[in-house]
Amino acid sequence: MGTFVRIAWRNMWRNPRRSGLVVAAMAVGLWGLIFSLGFMDGMSRQMIDNTVDSHMGHLQVHNADYQARVKGFNMFHYQLDKYISDPGPVEQAIDASEYVVAWSPRIITTGLATNAQKAAGVAIVGIDPKRESEVTNIARSLVNGRYIEPASENTIFIGEALAKKLGIDVGSKIVLMAQDIHRDKAMAAFRVVGTYKTVSSTFDKSFVYISIGAAQKMLGMAELVNEFVILVDDPSKKLEVAKASVAQKLDKTKYSVMTWREIWPLLVRIVEMSNIFTYVFFILIFIAMAFGIANAVLMAVFERIREFGIMKALGAKPSQVFLLVAIESICLGIVGVATGILIGWATVYYFGRQGVNLAVFSAVLEQMGLGSVIYTSTNVSFFIWGGLIALVTAFLSSLWPASKAAKLVPVDAIRHV
């Protein structure tokens, strides 16, 4: 076996030009696959991260009747009247879980924000400012003025895009209107103390933050809250464990604990779909490549007919000749894969740091909840799968030439000119 590998490896370099071209084709194909996967995956990951970081958190606890699942892309669906009537025990249950890093209570509902001239539909979020700043990045996204303070009853923190839309600035007064818990019209005036800016101007136009006390007062909620948002340690691995550890301490009939995947299943499917599409496309490319590899290996076989004849005359079994050709093709594959992975890794590493600037597509990216710079992701599984696809292609395309070589009749082959 070792001898065959050595012969195959040496054969490969007998015609460096030909082998080099096959290796180059494989490397380009694999590089394209790794970059495309890294780009698509980076894009979907950013979409998820932006949503998780700015609003959703890893876990949410609601009243068991609350429909937390997001339909399509409509985030603005809140049920004020499905509240958690006794937040104390829930807080204790969350605090008791070793997986929880931070948590924050919220009141959330839809309403209108108006100043003297203009109105805009908004999601009104009542928060504990300190806790919220540990869970989401809204406080860190401050652009002008300052973040709201816990005790404040009349200050509001809004998106810069909303401020622009309403034609107001830090220091201006706005009125929030919504239906309160008793379905009466509720109105309260607030002073804008600061503005924030996330990557999505749709988000910035929609979410306004007041202290939870102010929200409870305005909406007649006393000590009630709508949801708890929780950040988990190492969510990629421990999301489900963390969910279970919080849920086991809570009465299932009264509360529901959901992961972000359950709350917004569409996001998860977008990632899956885009990866499936990329793999399908590149399998097609590798099929096109297989013809080129088969051709090169076939040529390598036909120019060595005499050699194979001698090998067989000396006692090599057909299966050994078959193996020799297959190994030669796989050797080509290995060099191609190594080259492809190397330049693929360098590319996704570089663009993972620098990002791909797509400012010209800001409108469509924003619609997807993305900023205009996409950072490619370097997921090890892409290198493994891409490499496997390329090696399998190399092996499959050697089957025909290898069986040709194996079937040669020694006497004829030796006499072949």
Partner 1 sequence: MSAFLKLAWRNVWRNTRRSVLTIIAVAFGLALCIYTYAIAVGYHNQMIRDAIGVFAGHIQVHARGWDDNQTLEYLIEEPDKTIATVPVGDKRIVGLAPRVVTPGLVSRKLVAKGGGEDTSKEENTQFIMIVGADPAAELKITILADKIRRGKFISNDDPTGIIIGEDLAESLGVDVGDRVLLWTQDYYESLQAQFFFVRGIYRAGAFDLDGGYAIAPLATIQRFLNLDDMLTTVTVRLSDPQHLEDVSGEIDSALNPKVYEVLTWEEVMPELRQYVVFDDIGAYVFLAILIIVVAFGILNTQLMAVFERIKEFGTMLALGARPSQVAFTVFAECFFMTGVGVLIGNVLGFIAAYINTKVPINLSSEADLLAVFGIDPKMYAAITWPNFVICSGIIMGLALLMSLWPAMKAARFRPVEALRYV
Contacts with partner 1 by CB under 8 A lie at 17-18, 21-22, 24-25, 28-29, 32, 36, 71-74, 76-82, 109-112, 114, 116-123, 165, 177-179, 183, 185, 206, 266, 269-270, 273, 281, 284-285, 287-289, 291-292, 294-296, 298-299, 303, 358, 360-364, 366-367
β-strands 227-232, 185-196: how paired?
Answer: unpaired
Supply the minimum distance, in Å, between the C-beta of residue 350 and partner 1: 17
Residue 417 in tokens: 């000119």
207/383 with CB nearer partner 1: 207
CA separation for the pair 378, 323 (Å, rounded): 35
Supply the minimum distance, in Å, between the C-beta of residue 277 and partner 1: 10
CA separation for the pair 134, 103 (Å, rounded): 8
101/112 with CB nearer partner 1: 112
349/361 with CB nearer partner 1: 361
Supply the minimum distance, in Å, between the C-beta of residue 273 and partner 1: 6
Supply the minimum distance, in Å, between the C-beta of residue 135 and partner 1: 24
Collapsing DSSP states into helix, strand and coil, what is residue 368?
coil
Residue 45 in tokens: 């990951």
Those residues whose C-beta lies under 8 Å from the C-beta of residue 53, and which sit 6 or more positions away, are 136, 137
Those residues whose C-beta lies under 8 Å from the C-beta of residue 225, and which sit 6 or more positions away, are 83, 84, 87, 105, 106, 107, 212
114/172 with CB nearer partner 1: 114
Supply the minimum distance, in Å, between the C-beta of residue 342 and partner 1: 17
Both ends of the chain: CA-CA distance in Å? 29
96/266 with CB nearer partner 1: 266
Supply the minimum distance, in Å, between the C-beta of residue 390 and partner 1: 11
Report whether 34 contacts 345 (CB < 8 A): yes
CA separation for the pair 84, 80 (Å, rounded): 10
79/144 with CB nearer partner 1: 79
